[in-house]
A = this chain, B = another copy of it.
Amino acid sequence: MITNSIRPRGRPRNFDESEALNKATQIFWSKSYDGVAIDDLIAGMGVGRQSLYSVFGDKRTLFLRVLRAYAERKGAGAAKALFSPPALRDSIAGFLRHAVEVATEEGSVRGCLMVCVAPLVDDPEVRQFLKDAAAGGLALVERRFRDGISAGEIPSDFPVGTRARQVLDLARGLTMHAQLGAPRKALLKDAEEAADLVLLPRGANAPREV
């Protein structure tokens, strides 16, 4: 996917824009907005100070761009996890597993930029973006549940909204647990069990010979 063969006019850039953005993501992710100094970004992104400001704007603007790119990637992954598998249970489990995988990626920092870092950035635009993103995630899960109703996998009175909120809460909880250092393997198992919890209340734990 080479951008465009039309070369711009002046001196060519010494860095790849999207790669630099990925580096910036890692830096913000690991050091949490306030903890990041411009010099950290310059050193980590491989971009000169002037280039950084002229290409990405100031720190706040750069963070917003990082956040948007991150959200788009993560949202795409979540949607794929939700709508690829034919079985509803696999979709929900995949959604939760995806949250765990993002939060425990090897070589990267634990947690999630949107769940752990961005909420603390004291900026109305960031705040609004997070609200919208959360609403979007909720809508995705709700839609998947409705598809499940259409397919007859769950009854038509399945509490779509409530269960979707619970799925999101569980995903957030798993993410925070990952940030604290829980091992990936255990979290993936928790993700499966969370999916079962939300979808399979078929009396598995009903009292028996107590």
| Interface, chain A (partner B; CB < 8 A) | 31-32, 34-35, 111, 115-117, 119-120, 122, 127, 130-131, 134, 152, 154-159, 162, 165-166, 168-174, 176-177, 179-181, 190, 193-194, 197-198, 200-210
Contact = CB atoms under 8 A, between A and B. Distances in A.
Given A32-B34, A165-B190, A173-B169, A205 B197 contact: no
A208 B152 CA distance: 10
A162 to B, nearest CB: 5
B198 A201 contact: no
B173 A171 contact: yes
Given A168-B173, A172-B173, 12 more contacts: A31-B122, A32-B122, A134-B180, A154-B210, A157-B205, A162-B190, A162-B193, A166-B190, A166-B194, A166-B197, A169-B169, A197-B198
Contact of A169 (B34, B130, B174, B210): B174
Contact of A210 (B119, B155, B180, B202): B155
| Chain multiplicity (copies) | 2
A149 to B, nearest CB: 8
| In the complex, the 6 A-B pairs of residues with the closest C-beta atoms, listed nearest first | A169-B173, A34-B34, A201-B201, A172-B173, A203-B203, A32-B120
Nearest to A156: B210
B179 A193 contact: no
Contacts of A115: 176
Nearest to A30: B122
A155 B205 contact: yes
